[in-house]
Amino acid sequence: MTAADEVHAGEDFYRRAHNQMPGAMSWYVLGHPLPDGRSSYQFLADQVPDARRVLDLGCGDGSLLAVLARNGATGLAGIDLSDGELATAKCRPELAGADVRQGRAQELPFEDNAFDTVVSHMALMLMADVEQALAETARVLKPAGALAISVGLRPAPGSGRVVPEAGAVDLRRRPAAGIGDVHPRRPSHTHPRGDE
C-alpha cells in the first residue's frame, strides 16, 4: 500500500464512521465535561475570546462553531470530510449563515487572509500530512491571526478516558512539525507498545 493509498484509506474510514454516527463526538464531549464543568468545546472557544471570522478544521456537526457563535463570532466557516456531519451542522440555528463545506484541511477552499481565527477540536491529530494542513491554515489566516487546537492526550493505563488539551499556536513563530500522533493517521501503523 502506497502512502497515498494509506491517506485515502484513513480518510475513507473517518468519513464512513462519521457518516454512520454524525454527532457522536459531540455526544461524547457534552457528556464528559472537564473538571470545571465546561465542555472541551467551550474550553477551546475560551482560548480565542476575540474570534470573529472563524474557520473550524474538522468541524463535524458544528458544535464548536455554535459555541463560537454564542460567544460573538459572526463569520463562521467549517470544513469536514463527512457530509453526514455537515448536514447536521447546517440544521443548527446558530449556523444559519455559516459556510460549511465538505473538503480536506490540506486543500482549503478559502481565500488568503480570510479568517482571524482557525480552530480544530480533536481533528488535526488525525489528519494525514499535518504540515500541509498547517501551511494551508497559515495561508487563510490574517497576519497575527490565531490558531487554537485541542488534541487528545493518551489516557493513563486503566482510565479509559481521553482528555483534550487546548492551546494556541503562532504559526509564524513555531515550527509546525510534531502535532498529533502518527498512529491514528496511518491505518497500517502499529503502535510501538503493541497494545493500541
Taking residues 135-159, report their average pLDDT.
81
Alpha-carbon dihedral angle through residues 16, 18, 19, 23, given to the nearest 10 degrees: 170
The DSSP output letter for 38 is -
Question: Per residue in 90-124, pLDDT tens?
Answer: 999 999 999 999 999 999 999 999 999 999 998 88
What is the tally of structural domains in the chain?
Answer: 1
Q: Considering the chain, what percentage of its residues have pLDDT values greater than 90?
A: 46
Q: 186 lies in a domain?
A: no
Domain of residue 131, CATH code: 3.40.50.150
Q: Quote the pLDDT of residue 188.
A: 44
Whole-angstrom CA distances from 75 to 34, 38, 147 are 28, 24, 16
Per the domain annotation, does 187 fall within a domain? no
Please indicate, yes or no, if residue 25 is contained in any of the structural domains.
no
Q: How far apart are CA 173 and CA 72, in angstroms?
A: 28
Alpha-carbon distance of 44 to 67, in angstroms, equals 10
Report the candidate in 110, 108, 7, 123 with the shortest Cα–Cα distance to residue 60. 123
Q: Sheet harboring 115-121: ordered strands across?
A: 99-102, 75-80, 53-57, 115-121, 141-153, 163-169
Residue pLDDT, tens place only, 30-45: 888 888 999 999 999 9
194 in a structural domain: no
Higher-confidence residue: 175 or 38?
Answer: 38
pLDDT 10s digits, 47-63? 999 999 999 999 999 99
Quote the domain boundaries for residue 69: 3-20+40-172
Per-residue confidence at 185, pLDDT binned at 50, 70, 90? very low
Residue at 183 is within a domain:
no
Q: Is residue 193 part of a domain?
A: no
Give, as one character, the DSSP assignment of residue 106: G
Contact 56, 65 (CB under 8 A): yes
What are residue 55's DSSP bridge partners? 77, 118
In a domain, 10, yes or no: yes
Are 65 and 43 in contact by the 8 Å Cβ rule? The answer is: no
Task: Give the pLDDT confidence of 65-96 residue by residue, as tens digits.
Answer: 999 999 999 999 999 988 888 999 999 999 99
Phi/psi at 128 (5° precision): -75, 150
**Residue 35 resides in a domain:** no
